[in-house]
Amino acid sequence: MSTNEKQFYQCEKCKSIFLFEPESSISCKNCGHAKLGPIDGRFILRCKKCGLTQNKRAFANLHGKNAIKCQSSTCNGSIKLIQLRKRGTASSPIAVQPKQPPSPKINLGKSIIQTLKEVHPPVPKRRQLTKKMKHEKKPFVDDYIPFPSVDVPKEKISEESFIPFPSSAPKPQVKSLPTISQIKDHPGIQIGDRLKLNDVIHEITAKIGIGGMGAVHLARDINTKKMVALKEFFYTRYHDPESGNNFCNKYWLREAQITKIQSSSPEISMHLLGSLKLEQFPIPEYYIFLEYIDGIALDKWYTERYKNLGQLNIKELRMLIKDILMPIARHMYYVHQKGIVHRDLTVQNTIILNKRYSEEYKPVIIDWGVAKEVGIDNMYSPRKPYYVSSAPEATGIRNRGTPPEIMAGFEPIAASDIYMFGHMMFYLFSGGHYASAAATNEDFVLHPGDYNPDLPPDFTRLVEYCTQYEPADRMENMVKVYDALKWLYDGTLRYEKHGNDEIKTQFYLYCDYNDAFIPLPEKKVMRIGRDEIIAAGKNHEMDGHLYNALIPASEGKFSFELYIEGNYAYIHDNFSKLGSFISKLTSTNQQVYNNVPIKGLDNVVIQLSEANIGKTTIEIPFVAPDGQTYRITFKIVDKKG
């Protein structure tokens, strides 16, 4: 093979690769062997160090009479050759270096789909619980799911009017950047190099991190000393050896565009400062300038803050909901309304700003490199089953907490980010555990309570709801996730800190007919009848009505019974004459929906939150002597008077 009148040669002894113009006498520069053989037929070049497939045509402009090195500026490893087929033969591919045959071609997406199809719904594996966990059987237990829901229209919301959640976060202005010039005059990037962006010179000061497709450098404005982040795209990593095309320019444009779109969110977010393309070198170079987020990754912040599971008490859980999870949910809903899916929402890609910027903890989502714009029309209402072979395919990604549809290469949707958000909650609620590799469909559903015995059960239920195997079974959008988080936050408000012990508020059952307050101890079934209400009351003018409406508990029957545990009051009514009614209940409860009496129903639940305490009513109807039907109203309150 010849490229620009140069020929690839290989040393028969040490297997080093060279690119020479035809000469009469050629010897190996590495081992001194006198004979180098020309390489003929179809072959590919690959780096021994990083495994990168090399662009043969580019070598003609980069290398001379030296052993060929890796094209990546960050690697510089030696090159090996894989012989695919000798010229003029129809033989099977053979390997010259290394000696193993190349791996068979595998369609990753279809192989995963086939694996998923063969998996039968399994019996969930039992997880070993911590010794300190003690289970107590709770009365009136059923499958009630008390998460609130808000129906949100799915029409695209205009940029000017869409502000779904209030925020006071300051938003720096992002300027439109014209043509960019540069002063770096050599391939690759090194510490000390200077790049020019809109007549502003930035100097590279350090490398922050490196990934499979690029690296991130820290740069400084030499005039203002302000720090920025510079993302370098590894051009050769975007090369498709099958088609010969390179998609670096496509991903460079896409990441810059999506980063700019998400930065207009009312929440604190990362901003795009500009993009840079250098074409004067043999291999083009692509960069984007980003706002430098001065902080620490969420996983590192978490492990430094919580050294053991005992530190993760109710107060800390409420802080994680309010300061970390709720702002992320608001920001991701804004992004979803723009038709964008992040696809890599993780604790590593969430930065907590340093304390000098705010007294509260502020999360910022970074790394929009694999984000995809799928359009608002395709974001919601996924089909079920979602895993069908006729569905559009996308790039498969296999990271921690990745939902099954993205692993298998299906089109991502809002529910995909909701799954990854559920994995973030699993990490925070479980004490810093990552989800293990899923062997069955059921393993995709995450249970933080298995790792944290003291975790309130509704925290686990929320995570389970967000991490269902089928996208259609997860929460529909981030607004509903946000509502559920707020519901959890309000439900834990009654817990107060007193030294090293957590004490709980005393609740009372209040009857407004006779101004009666009856204490409601926790974890004790309270049977409510007329004698208890009349004895505790102050206004005895209404005793006649109470006598006619309520059933005495002393006869073994009662109007209703109450049981309080944790954040909930459970109500049961078997014996009242017309049935009890629950009114002004803020959370969804199908058992009492549309003013249906709860007579004979078990496990009717009131969440003891600010929205329900003193407001939600238990109403007992009765027929008065005048023939009219009246209702005696009870409320659960947390203080007398």
pLDDT value for 374 = 92
Length of the chain: 641
Residue 168's pLDDT band (cuts 50, 70, 90):
very low
Fold classification of 298-492 is Transferase(Phosphotransferase); domain 1 (1.10.510)
pLDDT above 80: residue 495: no
Spatial separation of the C-alpha atoms in residues 602 and 80, rounded to whole Å: 71
pLDDT value for 98 = 40
Task: Give the mean model confidence (pLDDT) for residues 218-244.
Answer: 91
Q: Which of 329, 324, 331 is nearest to 306 (CA)?
A: 324
Spatial separation of the C-alpha atoms in residues 270 and 615, rounded to whole Å: 42
Q: What is the Rg, in whole angstroms, of the alpha carbon atoms belonging to the chain?
A: 33
**Residue 224: CB atoms within 10 Å:** 8
**Of the candidate ranges 241-250, 476-485, 590-599, the one whose mean pLDDT is the lowest:** 590-599
What digits encode the pLDDT tens for the residues 414-468?
A: 999 999 999 999 999 999 999 888 888 899 999 999 999 889 888 999 999 999 9
What digits encode the pLDDT tens for the residues 593-612?
A: 556 788 877 778 888 887 78
pLDDT above 70: residue 389: yes
CA distances for 476 relative to 415, 416, 496, angstroms = 7, 10, 33
pLDDT value for 85 = 61
What digits encode the pLDDT tens for the residues 57-112?
A: 766 666 554 557 777 666 777 788 776 665 555 544 444 444 444 444 545 555 55
Residue 592: how many CA atoms within 13 Å on its side-chain side?
Answer: 29
- Give me the residue spans of the domains in the chain: 2-85, 194-291, 298-492, 504-637
Give the strand order in the sheet containing 363-365.
295-297, 350-353, 363-365
What digits encode the pLDDT tens for the residues 525-549?
A: 888 888 888 888 887 777 777 887 8
Q: Which residues pair with 340 in a beta bridge?
A: 373
Cβ atoms 493, 609 nearer than 8 A: yes
| Architecture, CATH, for domain 504-637 | Sandwich (2.60)
pLDDT above 80: residue 284: yes
Q: Exposure string (b/e) for 46-79, b if CB count within 10 Å is 16 or more? A: bbeeeebbbbeebbbeebeeebbbbbbbebeebb
Q: Was domain 194-291 assigned CATH 3.30.200.20? A: yes
Burial of 230: CB neighbours in 10 Å, binned 0-12, 13-18, 19+: buried
